[in-house]
Structure 1
Amino acid sequence: MTDQRRFPASVYREGEEPDPRFSLANERTFLAWVRTALALYAGAFALEALAIPEPMVWRASAAAVFLVLGTIAALQAWWGWRQTERALRRGLPLPGLGAGGVLVVGVVLAAALVAVGMWV
């Protein structure tokens, strides 16, 4: 029997309660994605706050990429946690990594924008 007061009820009312170790590992992964999002936001703000001697358009573009990536990482934290918790409760295979590839490509793009801006 599940406690209907747990949030989100759409996740916790499904299936059976999994081994707590798996749910706690899922929560740690959620927190790692949140830390990644915060680091990406910090990178965006640092590009704008620091007096980096490069043209504004390159710096602003790289900061915008970092902001978008931070938002994607935050959304991945929530969606990934939900999908994994549901799979654990239903006894289904765990979902794959959703936004990881996008983040890698985006960080490389943002770093390239900063590098190009420094050479222009």
Structure 2
Amino acid sequence: MGLNFEKILVILVIAMFVLGPERIPAYAKKFGDLVRNIKHMADGAKDRLRDEMGPEFDDVDWRQLDPRQYDPRRIIRDALVEDEREARAEARKERVAEARREREALAGDGTLKYDDEAT
């Protein structure tokens, strides 16, 4: 879903119709200034963070903190799978506890009682 050449060309054609050919250079200059200012602010923030963190700044894995790597669908799917896994584990624990209670009820004297007709 990147911005490829065809999309940029379509945006430029639309801009020519909306703004007119005489105003496009002025708006392009304003847009360029905006991009430069944003880059300058980001670099300033990065330098300030580096100054405040000191040598620990170089130890941080910044790629791990990149929000573009997080897919909301995967996060929700993993959370649902984890909830399902926890529910299955809880049900398994309940079945084991129930089987233990039944076994203790059947063998009160320490020996298991079997039904001879059932086997």
TM-score between both structures, scaled by the size of structure 1: 0.30
Structure with higher Rg: it is 2
TM-score between both structures, scaled by the size of structure 2: 0.30
Structure number with higher relative contact order (C-alpha < 8 Å, ≥ 6 residues apart): 1
